Amino acid sequence: MADFSGKTALILGGSRGIGAAIVRRFAQAEARVIFTYAGSAEAAKRLAAETGARAVQADSADRDALTAAIAAQGPIDMLVINAGTLAIGDPLTLDADAIDRMIDINVRAPYHAAVEAARRMPDGGRIIVIGSTNGDRIPFAGGAAYAMTKSAMQGMVRGLARDFGARGITVNSIQPGPTDSDMNPADGPMAEQMHSFMAVKRHIRPEEVAELTAYIAGPHAAMITGSMQTIDGGFAA
Ligand code: NDP
């Protein structure tokens, strides 16, 4: 297991699901962990008590609140941008405000967060976004706007890897496929359809995504940058 002692990790959107698994994994590796949340104050409080991490309320859709929360942490060695929302359905009837909020959280926030953290990030730091296999492939109707947000992350990752590479800072995306969480429960109504697209037909466990994230954040991944690390059971194969 990577040893993150002496390192500071900030996980954006850490109160539930994949983000909470990443908080647990980084805390186990002895990082000083801070995580943000928007609405799930009780879950955040429980996770903080369980892991020793610090919970900070900051809505990623509020750029000023987000960048202030990042700046307040001082130098961050590892930034994981996990906060994300999913609005899917018929584009002709989907609420335009919900789409714009998703774009704010899934696209605008990761860009501004990455840049803000990079201002103070020590050389050799890590910026990781949680993208999606849907950035590569969207094999069902109704996912255009969500896929658009996750494809946008890919361009950001490639570009920022170039911007920060001279400092040894790596920028990568982890691209999960269907992962068991409140957003996409393993026993939810879309599970069977999701599994039909996969080579290994089950939901991914949040802990499996956290493990890959820890590897990319660790010392052995110094030469992995500008990359998309897909963990999707073959969904996009
Ligand atoms: P969940 O809905 O289960 O959890 C989302 C987490 O993000 C919560 O901790 C939530 O905090 C936080 N969050 C959401 N909006 C905001 C916001 N505006 N500001 C701060 N925090 C916020 O989702 P998952 O764990 O499933 O998803 C995590 C990431 O993984 C997302 O980016 C998602 O797109 C991506 N992903 C998920 C897949 C899946 O199948 N589950 C597949 C591929 C990618 P709070 O409750 O406090 O608001």
Q: Please report the pLDDT score of residue 203 as a whole number.
A: 98
pLDDT in tens, 200-224: 999 999 999 999 999 999 999 999 9
The answer to whether the CB of 213 is under 6 A from ligand 1 is no
pLDDT at 2: 79
Asked whether residue 34 is assigned to any structural domain, the reply reads yes
SS3 of the chain: CCCCCCCEEEEECCCCHHHHHHHHHHHHCCCEEEEEECCCHHHHHHHHHHHCCEEEECCCCCHHHHHHHHHCCCCCCEEEECCCCCCCCCCCCCCHHHHHHHHHHHHHHHHHHHHHHHHHCCCCCEEEEECCHHHCCCCCCCCHHHHHHHHHHHHHHHHHHHHHHHHCCEEEEEEECCECCCCCCCCCCCHHHHHHCCCCCCCECHHHHHHHHHHHHCHHHCCCCCEEEEECCCCCC
Q: What is the CATH number of the domain that holds 171?
A: 3.40.50.720
CA of 166 to the centre of ligand 1 (A): 31
- Residue 2 included in any domain: no
146 is catalytic: yes
Atom nearest to 14 CA in ligand 1: 9
Render pLDDT for 163-188 as a digit per residue (tens, 0 to 9). Answer: 999 999 999 999 999 999 999 999 99
Residue ranges of the chain whose pLDDT lies below 50: none
Number of structural domains (the chain) is: 1
Q: Is residue 236 part of a domain?
A: no
Dihedral angle, C-alpha 46, 48, 54, 59, nearest 10 °: -40
Q: Is 175 in the pocket of ligand 1 (CB under 6 A)?
A: no
Tell whether 87 is covered by a domain: yes
Show the tokens assigned to 126.
Answer: 């890590």
| Residue 237 counted as domain residue | no
| Dihedral pair phi/psi, residue 175, rounded to 5° | -115, 90
**Which of the residues 37, 111, 146, 215 is marked catalytic?**
146
Cβ neighbours of 150 (radius 10 Å): 24
Closest CA to 117 of 209, 38, 214, 36: 36
Domain membership flag for residue 117: yes
Kindly report the backbone phi and psi dihedral angles of residue 83, in degrees, each rounded to the nearest multiple of 5, phi listed first. -50, 130
126 and 79 in contact (C-beta within 8 Å)? yes
Cβ–ligand 1 distance for 105 under 6 Å, the answer yes
| Residue numbers of the domain that contains 104 | 8-231
Q: Is residue 166 part of a domain?
A: yes
Give CA–CA dist 211/117, Å, rounded: 22
What pLDDT is attached to residue 141? 97
55 within a domain of the structure (yes/no)? yes
